[in-house]
Amino acid sequence: MNPETSHDPKRQAPALPPIAMSPRVLLGPGPDMVHPRVTAAMTAPLLGHLDPDFLALMDGTQQLLRYAFRTDNRLSLPISGTGSAGMEAAVASLIEPGDPVLVCINGYFGGRIAEMARRHRGEVETIERPWGEVFGADEVRDALRRRPARVVAIVHAETSTGALQPLQEIAQVVHEAGAILIVDAVTSLGGVPLEVDGWDLDVVYSGTQKCVGAPPGLAPVTIGPRGEAKLSARRTPVDTWYLDLSILQRYWGPERTYHHTAPISLNFALYEALRMIAEEGLEVRWERHLRNAQLLWDGLAELGMSLHVAAGHRLPSLTTVRIPDGVDDAAVRTRLLRDYGIEIGGGLGTLKGRVWRIGLMGYSSRPENVELLLGALRRILRTPEAA
C-alpha cells in the first residue's frame, strides 16, 4: 500500500467496511422493493449516452412511458433526478415569472409545489383543504373566478396523507378558465388509475421508486399539447438549465442533442420496470394494488385501528392509519424494523406522530407483505416492550 508520509489527517485513506445492507420489507412511502429482474437490469454493461443501443433503449422507454401514462404525448421522458426533480422540471418549465398560479394544498407535497412555484417567480395563490381530504371541482372553479390563473397545480396521490384526488372534472374547470393543469402523480403512476389523455391532463410527473417498481433516481414526465404550447411560447428562458424541459426534449427527441450524461444504469432499471408493467397490463396492476390495499384496510380494522382518510378517497398505494392512543409511534416502528426488517413510514408535517404511512406499491404490493405486516403489528401492539 501507499505509505503516508504526511500527518495531515485528510490524507489518510479511510478504511470503511463494504456495503452489507440487511434486506428490508419496504412498506413505507417509498422507495419500495424492486423485482429481481429490475435489479438485474441495472447491472447490464454500461454504454455511452449517445450509443446507438442506448438511443434505441430511450425510444423503447418513451413508448413504455406513454403506455403507463395512457397518453400519446410525444414529450414523455424520464428526468434525471428523483420525483422532486420531476416536480421542479414541470413547475420551472411551465411557469414564467409573473404568471398567476393556483396551487391546491391538502398535504405536504402540494406545499412543496407552491414553494417551488414561488422560487420560480410565479404569482402564487393557494387553496387549502385539511390533510386527508380532497378538492371538489367547484372549489377550483371559485378560486379561478376570484383570481384567474395561467397554471393550476394539484396532487393526484398525496403521499403525506393517503388521499386520492379525482382529476377529471378539475381538468375541465381549469381548461374552461384558460389555464393548464400540472399533476403530481408520484404515488399513482403504475399503481392507481391515471388517464393522462382520457382526463385531459396537461403536465404530469412521477417518480420511479413507488408504483413503477424501479429504484429512486428518475422522474417520468409527460407533457400534452397545451403544455407544449405554453413551453414554446415562453418569452424568458427557464431559470434552471438542468431541469429545463425545452432543452431536455431535444435530447429525447429526434435531434438527440447532447444535454447531460443520462444515468444509464437507472435507465436500464426503469426500462425493465416499465416492461413488467406492460407485461402485467395496467388494469390488472391497478386491480392488484386495490386488492392488496383492501386486504390491509380490512386487517387494520380487525386490529381495531382506524384509517385517516374517508372511504371513497383512499389511495390504494399508500394508507394512513391512525396511531392508537397510548402507543409509542417511534418504538413500534423501531421494533418493526429491528425484529422483522419491515419499514413503514411515520407521519409527515401536521400528521407527524398521528399516523403511520403504509405503502403497498409496485413489487411491494403483495398479499404476503400484507399478512406479514399485520402479524407483526398484532404481536407488537399486544406485547409492548418494557421501557
Q: Which is nearer to a second copy, 35 or 313 (CB)?
A: 35
CB contact at 8 A, 127 and 102: yes
Owner of C-alpha cell 396532487: 155
Q: Give the residue carrying C-alpha cell 425510444.
A: 59
Residue 355 interacts with a second copy (CB under 8 A)? no
Of the candidate spans 140-148, 215-223, 295-303, 304-312, the one that interacts with a second copy by CB under 8 A turns out to be 215-223
Write out the binding residues for a second copy, residues 97-116 only, by CB under 8 A: 112, 115-116
Question: Which of residues 52 and 326 has its CB atom nearest to a second copy in the complex?
Answer: 52
Q: Scanning residues 5 to 34, which ones bind a second copy (CB under 8 A)? A: 9-16, 18-24, 26, 28, 30-34
Q: Which of 255, 283, 325, 368 binds a second copy (CB under 8 A)?
A: 283
Tell whether residue 368 is a contact of a second copy (CB under 8 A).
no
- Region binding a second copy by CB under 8 A among candidate stretches 211-219, 224-232, 313-321, 379-387: 211-219
Residue 90 in the binding site for a second copy (CB under 8 A):
no
Least Cβ distance, residue 183 to a second copy (angstroms): 17
203-205 and 219-223: which strand pairing? antiparallel
Scan residues 46-75 and list those touching a second copy (CB under 8 A): 46-49, 51-53, 57, 60, 63-64, 66-67, 70-72
The one segment of 38-46, 225-233, 303-311, 317-325 that binds a second copy by CB under 8 A: 38-46
CA dihedral over 269, 319, 340, 298, signed as positive or negative: negative
- Interface with a second copy (CB under 8 A), residue from 148, 229, 284, 324: 284
CA neighbor of 268 nearest in space, from 34, 85, 58, 36? 58
The answer to whether 265 contacts a second copy (rule: CB under 8 A) is yes
Which of 135/271 has CB closer to a second copy?
A: 271
337 binds a second copy per the rule CB under 8 A: yes
Phi, psi dihedral angles at 98 (to 5 degrees): 90, -15
